[in-house]
Copies of this chain bind each other. A is one copy, B any other.
């Protein structure tokens, strides 16, 4: 069936793009792994670039949706921040390929940032909203909302990525259930309360 083909292409593409990066990824390899002819990819996507953009949009939309779903489950801003941390760590950990691409291909290139501007906005603004609500409520410190949200996003992403690079695929699955809560707890403490034990004033 038609939709099946696209699924296969998507599946193969995430892997190959993540393994090799956008430039080094070869359409041949994507086709081979998807079990379709090279031409078939071009029947569905105009170019390598378009395939990549479709893929990343898909991944970012799903991450956004997942974050919003998790967010809806709690009311208190502090708890919401916790949910976001846990959700983002979990999603990036489970979609390691996507995480790599997000950092290396989207975050580090101005052209790509332009292409994905809207989706990045969506993602960052979820964190922003929580920060704003916390501030209004009086439980959060007053900070530059956007800068802070981006920094939090960066802290989580880079931390997860580093973690992913430390273990090989198989090993990762084994330790996953103990590593994720650890990671989340650590980031949560850092972001909630900071490094300094007791505030001076």
Query: Residues on A close to B: CB < 8 A?
Result: 21, 23-24, 78, 81, 100-101, 103-105, 107-110, 113, 131, 134, 138-141, 143-144, 147-148, 150-159, 161-163, 165, 182-183, 186-187, 189-199
Tell me if A's interface is mostly helix, strand, loop or mixed. Answer: helix
Is the pair B143, A153 in contact by a Cβ cutoff of 8 Å?
Answer: no
Query: How many Å lie between the Cα of A143 and that of B54 in the bound state?
Result: 39
CB neighbours of A150 from chain B (8 A): 158-159, 162
* Closest-CB distance, A122 to chain B (whole angstroms): 15
Query: How many Å lie between the Cα of A194 and that of B23 in the bound state?
Result: 38
8 A-B pairs, CB-CB below 8 angstroms? A108-B108, A141-B194, A143-B186, A151-B156, A154-B157, A157-B158, A193-B193, A193-B196
Query: How many Å lie between the Cα of A77 and that of B108 in the bound state?
Result: 31
Is the pair A148, B195 in contact by a Cβ cutoff of 8 Å?
Answer: yes
CB neighbours of A21 from chain B (8 A): 23, 108-109
* Closest-CB distance, A96 to chain B (whole angstroms): 10
